[in-house]
Structures are given as C-alpha cells and as structure tokens.
C-alpha cells in the first residue's frame, strides 16, 4: 500500500484519537494488520475498538484485544447475521463477555437496506441482544440503516440502558440526532462526513455539541476523502476528525480530546494513551 502519511493532518503530541468502530478481523487486514495498528499508533489513533458481527468475529475481536494492549473488543450479532443469534450462540457470547478486553455489545440493530435476514428475525435478535447487553452491563453499539423509527421504538420499549450506547455510523437528520441523544446515546461520525454531498451529516455535526459525538472509521469500509473507495483503516480517521473540526470551527486537538474522552467514558476504557 502506498504511504499516505505526507497528506495526513497532523495531531499534536499527547493528543489521541480513538477509533470506536473498526472491523480489524476482516480479510482486508489479514496481510498487514500489525502495520495497520502500528501506523495508527504512530499517527495518534492510539486506541481502536474492533467490532464483532457474529460468533467467529466476536471471538476474533477478543483474541485481538488480548494480543494488543490498545485494542478493545465488542461482541454481538449484526442484523445481517440475526438468524445465527440462537439461544446457544447468545450463551456463548455471554461467556466471551467475561474477557476483560470486551467493552461493548454490538453491533446489533436493524438493516432495512440489504435485508439479508427477514425483518422479523432482525427485530427478535435485536430485542434479545439489547436485554443481554443490559444483563452483561455493557453499552450497546447500534447499526441502523434505513430503520430509524423501528430502532428508536425498540430501544425505547426495552427500557433504560444504564450503560448507554452509541448509534454508529450516524446517518439520520437533526431530529433523529436529538432523539438519540435523549436516549442517552452518543452519535458516532464516520468518514462519510468528508463527502461533499453529505449535507445532512454536516448539519448534524454543526448543530450537535461535541460532548455527544464519537468518531469511527467502520474500516475497512467508508474511507474518507481523499481515499474514498479504497480500503479504510484507523489512521485515516484523522481526515474525519479534521473535517469535524472544520465544520465546528474548532481545532483538531479539541475534537480529538473531546471525542476520546467520550469514548473512554462510554466504553470505560482503562488504559490511557500515551501511557
């Protein structure tokens, strides 16, 4: 891969970014994962939350969390894989949650774009996993594609979640942003914010206080400009953070500090980087 560091925005010393949503177990990273993580650390993206989408990726996330001190894991069945969320599979995830690298439950939710699982199956798996997350005392990571109303209704119906959560890869409007914040959730802003046609997301970022925002790559997907269409990786979140800073007319350091504090609080991350 071409070295792109020369065009990356520069993060001041002692300020870190946290990539709150990446899929480090995916094939896209299998040949150079050590380099991807090292490059991120070198550029100030010091901590990464790697997200489970099924039984195997949840196990792999935990394995990565054990192997790297700055990687944390989440576990869960993505709506695409909702039909795999059987009693037995959920019991196994609950056991996996005992590992200290597990900091969240997800990604769970509803995806009405791809509909890889029938909607009723998605809804059932979502509900059960919200309850399991509460039992396990973990914050939830919500995936919501074109399913805003049902996601909100289900979260509301399941009652308060003391550990809170995040609407990852936020794609709604201001109104939805307010409703999500009222639930006590964070909004996580992906690289999409660097796309010039993402006007609704620009508006959400502009009007939402930094204390409600997290940043993510959703790597290997959704690479920010100027890497749109290529593999995404945690280092490239610098472009996302600078765009958020530009929209909010703040410094990159302010955005990095606030969003990292939010991520540390939500996921109760123990280790502080730089050490």
Residues near Zn ion, by CB under 5 A: 107, 143, 218
| Residue nearer to Zn ion on the CB measure, 108 or 247 | 108
Residue nearest to Zn ion (CB): 143
- In the complex, what is the shortest distance from the CB of residue 107 to Zn ion, in angstroms, rounded to a whole number? 5
- In the complex, what is the shortest distance from the CB of residue 145 to Zn ion, in angstroms, rounded to a whole number? 7
20-36: burial string, b at 16+ Cβ within 10 Å, e else = bbbbbbbebbeeebeeb
| Residue nearer to Zn ion on the CB measure, 16 or 218 | 218
| Residue nearer to Zn ion on the CB measure, 192 or 245 | 192
| Residue nearer to Zn ion on the CB measure, 25 or 107 | 107
- In the complex, what is the shortest distance from the CB of residue 15 to Zn ion, in angstroms, rounded to a whole number? 25
Which residue in 243, 255, 258 sits closest to 196, CA to CA?
243
- In the complex, what is the shortest distance from the CB of residue 23 to Zn ion, in angstroms, rounded to a whole number? 6
- In the complex, what is the shortest distance from the CB of residue 142 to Zn ion, in angstroms, rounded to a whole number? 8
| Residue nearer to Zn ion on the CB measure, 143 or 212 | 143
């Amino acid at each position: 891969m071409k070295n792109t560091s020369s065009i990356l925005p520069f993060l001041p010393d002692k300020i870190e970014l946290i990539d709150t949503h990446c899929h480090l177990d995916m094939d896209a990273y299998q040949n150079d994962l050590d380099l991807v993580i090292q490059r991120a650390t070198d550029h100030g993206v010091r901590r990464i939350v790697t997200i489970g989408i099924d039984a195997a990726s949840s196990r792999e996330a935990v394995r990565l969390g054990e192997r790297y001190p700055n990687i944390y894991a989440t576990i869960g069945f993505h709506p695409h894989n909702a039909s795999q969320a059987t009693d037995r599979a959920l019991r196994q995830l609950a056991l996996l949650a005992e590992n200290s690298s597990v900091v969240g439950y997800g990604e769970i939710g509803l995806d009405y774009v791809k509909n890889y699982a029938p909607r009723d199956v998605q809804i059932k798996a979502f509900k059960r996993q919200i309850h399991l997350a509460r039992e396990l005392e973990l914050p939830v990571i919500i995936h919501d594609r074109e399913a805003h109303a049902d996601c909100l209704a289900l979260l509301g119906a399941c009652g308060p979640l003391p550990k809170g959560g995040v609407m990852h890869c936020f794609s709604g409007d201001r109104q939805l942003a307010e409703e999500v914040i009222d639930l006590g959730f964070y909004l996580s802003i992906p690289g999409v914010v660097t796309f010039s046609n993402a006007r609704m997301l620009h508006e959400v970022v502009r009007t939402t206080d930094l204390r409600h925002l997290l940043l993510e790559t959703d790597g290997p997907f959704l690479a920010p400009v100027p890497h749109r269409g290529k593999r995404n990786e945690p280092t490239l979140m610098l472009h996302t953070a600078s765009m958020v800073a530009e929209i909010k007319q703040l410094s990159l350091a302010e955005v990095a500090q606030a969003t990292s504090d939010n991520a540390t609080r939500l996921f109760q991350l123990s280790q502080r980087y730089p050490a």
